[in-house]
Amino acid sequence: MSAQAFSRKEKTEPLTAVDSGNDSRDAIANQAIEPGMNRTITRKFDFHIIPWLFGIWLLAFIDRSNIGNARIDGLARDLELDGTKFNIALTVFYIPYILIDVPSNWVVKYFGANYYLPGLLIAWGLVGMCTGFVKDYGGLLACRFFLGLCEGGLLGGLVLYLSMFYQRHELLFRIGMFYCAAPLSGAFGGLLATGLAQIRHNGYNRWPWIFIVEGAVTIAYGLVTIWFLPATPSNATFLTEAEREAAVHRMGLDAHGASKESKVESERFSWHWVRMAILNVNTIVLSLNYFAIITPIYSFSLFLPTIISNLGYDSVKAQLFTVPPNMAGFFAVILCTFLSDKIKGRGPIMLGCCSIAIIGYIMLLIKTTPLVHYGGTFLVAVGVFPSAPAVLGWLANNLAPHYVRATGTGLQIAVCNCAAFIATFTYLEKDKPDYTTGHSINLGMLVLSLALSTTHILYVKWENRKRENGGRDYRLDEGDEGMLGYRHPSFRYTI
């Protein structure tokens, strides 16, 4: 490996010479990447990976939540979705979505994320198109089920994929850079639905074209993406040979003893790693925390057009009025994830964002003017959308190596998506126009998240102090040091 790619830990200047033999190899193993090289690698990853993941997540959220736009453009009337039928159609999506999360993460590396993730995209695009041709309630339920099956492995796969390329305290901003597509999808999806719902052709009027056109775009994007995503840092063709070696080496350094393999493709599946992921305090607490966060996110995304229309606006204005709150959420995600990586902390961001969202729901609950209620949707968007990547990145930072992270992240997403069974029934027809029950449920979930985040910050600080003071060094005598993973005394949890 090129000596110029490294710098000694005590100094920032690159080495000018490397001795031969085992001593030199050991020296290189303990050397940090030269800062200029590190920045170059990160910048190239940002340019060649993040835009594609942004597009994937944008389309995923549009195709998942466009049923909310279609509802107020004739879907509920044409398919006779009276009572709770619409809510049941939303719920069906999450049954396969939840069941597929963990096993999907296990096979991402096996199939190659560069093929697997775009493959999921193409599959759900086909299902999305089919939704535009359904004629009855049964057909809608079938399409929602298969859409959930195809989308289920996506979020965990995206987070896992990024963790192969970025160091732990670079990760959250990159998660935020694709996750900000979620609120943007609400803004863009509302505008797009407004235009597509004006189409009337060959017996298909208004809402079917939302699904048909958006599904076709998703398929096309998936076919293009396959050609551009790298599988791992070691086969990223846009890097030079020296950059590829340095990219692999820096991930080994960032593991802090949690992995004995520098190349992620060298790691092998073991049930030992699965058990470690499931029994980790971080996995349990942050999965519950994500459950609490995702409830208001899902209900907000699915029902925002309905909430705004019940403030007294017609369907077109309601679609358009969804744009500003979602754009506020978009910028909040970018800002908060950037700050989180700067301070190398996730919990403080969670505390701040949850507090803002709580104020937003209080504004929605009080008896006041529609303008105040509409203002509350801004605070909700600004608070809940950044919280999701924060809690995702928090767990991904605190689990290692690859298959522990794959299992824990998949389990976290599976647990959190159980919240969909609550979220899809929070805003019922009988509760309009105030939707007091729905707003109260979401408020309660945010208070729960606030409590869990506070508790977990205290736990992480306590555990890190134990490791710093040598309280976990006994683990080095338990057996194979390479099987300790995140339990290694040198590994530090992110706050």
User: Once rounded to an integer, what is the mean pLDDT over residues 325-333?
Assistant: 91
Which one is predicted more confidently, 437 or 185? 437
pLDDT at residue 443, rounded to an integer: 95
pLDDT at residue 265, rounded to an integer: 59
Q: Which DSSP symbol is given to 112?
A: -
pLDDT at residue 319, rounded to an integer: 67
Indicate the pLDDT class of residue 9, thresholds 50, 70 and 90. Answer: very low
Question: Residues, the chain, total?
Answer: 495
pLDDT at residue 354, rounded to an integer: 97
Q: Is the pLDDT of residue 213 over 60?
A: yes
- By the 8 A CB rule, do 62 and 192 touch? yes
140-172 burial, b at 16+ Cβ within 10 Å, e below that, comes to bbebbbbbbbbbbbbbbbbbbbbbbbbbbbbbb
Alpha helix (H) residue ranges in 310-419: 315-321, 323-343, 347-365, 370-398, 402-417
Average pLDDT value over all residues in the chain: 85
What is the distance between the alpha carbons of residues 47 and 137, in angstroms, rounded to a whole number? 43
Distance from chain centroid for Cα 163: 12
**Residue whose pair of structure tokens reads 């995503």 in the numeric block:** 229
Nearest to 344 by CA among 239, 264, 464: 464
Indicate the pLDDT class of residue 264, thresholds 50, 70 and 90. Answer: low
- By the 8 A CB rule, do 89 and 423 touch? no
Q: Is the pLDDT of residue 307 over 80?
A: no
pLDDT at residue 8, rounded to an integer: 44
Q: Is the pLDDT of residue 421 over 70?
A: yes
pLDDT at residue 402, rounded to an integer: 84
* Bridge partners, 158 (sequence order): none
Angle between helices 241-254 and 35-48 (to 10 degrees): 100
pLDDT at residue 28, rounded to an integer: 44
Stretch among 72-86, 154-168, 377-391, 463-477 having the lowest mean pLDDT: 72-86
Indicate the pLDDT class of residue 300, thresholds 50, 70 and 90. Answer: confident
Which one is predicted more confidently, 135 or 309? 135
pLDDT at residue 203, rounded to an integer: 73
Three-class DSSP category at 230: coil
Q: Model's pTM, two decimal places?
A: 0.82
Q: Is the pLDDT of residue 386 over 90?
A: yes
Percentage of the chain beyond pLDDT 90 is 50
H or E element in which residue 131 lies? helix 113-131
Nearest to 245 by CA among 234, 259, 237: 234
For strands 204-205 and 32-33, give the pairing: unpaired
pLDDT digits (tens, 9 = 90+) for 139-191: 999 999 999 999 989 999 999 999 999 998 899 999 999 988 888 876 677 77
pLDDT at residue 258, rounded to an integer: 55
pLDDT at residue 263, rounded to an integer: 56
pLDDT at residue 262, rounded to an integer: 53
Q: Is the pLDDT of residue 302 over 70?
A: no
User: Once rounded to an integer, what is the mean pLDDT over residues 9-20?
Assistant: 36
pLDDT at residue 12, rounded to an integer: 35
